[in-house]
Amino acid sequence: MREEDLEISIKVLVVGNGAVGKSSMIQRYCKGTFTKEYKKTIGVDFLEKTINYEEEEVRLMLWDTAGQEEFDAITKAYYRGAQACVLAFSTVDHASYTAVQRWRGKVLEECGNIPMVLVQNKIDLLESATVTKEEAESLAKKLKVRLYRTSVKEDFNVSTVFEYLAKQYVEGMKEVDEEETIPQIAAPPVKDARSSSKKKKKSSGHSNGIILDNPSKKGDKKKKQCFNV
């Protein structure tokens, strides 16, 4: 079980093509700000925010990664050690939608199977959408991840995305803790077959062929066995 004073820190990657709103999403969540001006991320950027989940402080370290291929060598080095991931695409950019599986593959290669969520950003621009609702839902089902539709501009569903990932990670930690504290009961030792056969001849009742208990001699104390779990 975790110590009560142990801080829970979660490294969260935000990946996807350029201009899907990754930087804006992190800025909105951590600082509560939004700007229409697009500024390409060079390599990686980093912000953090502390939230409370079930009376525990959880520090989210959000890594904003560049979406352009020329930065792949830089960004992939920062994938390692991540514990959760946002796969982002834009409602008005179909190419960003088709690239999601490629981004997911990169994350799996570096981080393994970590909690992920699919985010369809810019739903405030539905009148110009190039990705249908059915396409987004089909992709989420295929990848077996939860889908969130967000609008960073309108501050819609942004915090829900990161709170969901925090919950998934913390609950996963609790499951591991519970499994580690379940005692493993050792099977009692099986007696030597030759000595068992002799005892069976002296016994008056029926036997199933396995002697699990050996009565102690008069006056002997029973020994306690401790099993390390």
Domain count, the chain: 1
Residue at 101 is within a domain: yes
pLDDT recorded at residue 35: 80
Rounded Cα distance, 30 and 159, in Å: 9
pLDDT recorded at residue 172: 85
Nearest Cα neighbor of 150 from 158, 160, 139 is: 158
The enclosing domain of 134 has a CATH number of 3.40.50.300
What pLDDT, in 10s, does the model give residues 63-96? Answer: 988 766 656 766 777 888 999 999 999 999 999 9
What pLDDT, in 10s, does the model give residues 184-195? Answer: 555 555 555 454
Residue at 208 is within a domain: no
pLDDT recorded at residue 36: 77
pLDDT recorded at residue 29: 96
Which structural domain range is residue 52 located in?
Answer: 8-181
| Whole-structure pTM value | 0.73
Residue at 105 is within a domain: yes
Residue at 51 is within a domain: yes
pLDDT recorded at residue 73: 67
pLDDT recorded at residue 2: 45
**Can you list the residues of the chain whose pLDDT is less than 70?**
1-6, 37-43, 67-71, 73-74, 177-229
Residue at 210 is within a domain: no
Residue at 54 is within a domain: yes
Residue at 121 is within a domain: yes
